[in-house]
Amino acid sequence: MTTNCIKFTSADIETAKGVGSILTLTFDLDITVEPVASVNPMAPTHRGLGRSPRGKLVECGGIWRKQNKETGADYYTLTIRDHGFNANLGKAANQNDLSLQAVIPWGPKDAA
C-alpha cells in the first residue's frame, strides 16, 4: 500500500469508504475511513478508524468537506486526534485516479 494516501472505493469521495496509510516521523498508522450520514453541515463526512496495539479498530479522527473561500471549490481535510495531525486530501502525484487521494500534511495554526 502506498503511504500517505487513502484509496477510496469510488471517485465520489463523499459516499465512499477508504483505506490508507499515514507515515510520519512520530507514527505509522493504517487507517480506514467510513462515510457518516448526517444532515448537520458541520459534521464530518467520514470517521477515521485506526488499529490499537491489540489490533482493535478505534475511532481516531475524521474527514470534513470544506470550501475554498476564494474559488468556492470543495476540498477535504483529515484530522487524526491523538497525534495532533492535520492534512488536506488531494490528487496523488502522477495519478489520474480520483479515488486515490494523497494525504498532504499541514501544521497546526499558531496560537494567537
Residues 36-76 have pLDDT tens digits of: 999 998 999 999 999 888 989 999 999 999 999 999 999 99
At residue 2 the predicted structure's pLDDT band, cuts being 50, 70 and 90, is low
Please, what is the average pLDDT of the chain? 89
Residue 92 domain-assigned (yes or no): yes
Residue 111 domain-assigned (yes or no): no
At residue 112 the predicted structure's pLDDT band, cuts being 50, 70 and 90, is very low
- Let me know: does 87 contact 27? Beta carbons within 8 Å: no
Residue 112 domain-assigned (yes or no): no
Domain extent for 33: 5-105
Helix (H, G, I), strand (E, B) or coil at 61: strand
Rounded CA gap, 33 and 47, in Å?
Answer: 6
Residue 36 domain-assigned (yes or no): yes
Specify the pTM.
Answer: 0.84
Question: What total number of domains does the chain contain?
Answer: 1
Residue 72 domain-assigned (yes or no): yes
- Cell of residue 44, nine digits: 464530518
Residue 73 domain-assigned (yes or no): yes
CA 20 to chain centre: 9
Range list of β-strands (E), 1-112: 5-8, 18-23, 28-35, 46-51, 57-67, 74-80, 85-91, 100-106
Residue 81, φ and ψ in degrees, nearest 5: -60, -55
Q: How many Cα atoms occupy the beta-carbon half-sphere of 41 within 13 Å?
A: 2
- At residue 108, the pLDDT reads 59
Residue 110 domain-assigned (yes or no): no
The highest-confidence range among 16-25, 78-87, 101-110, by mean pLDDT, is: 16-25
Residue 46 domain-assigned (yes or no): yes
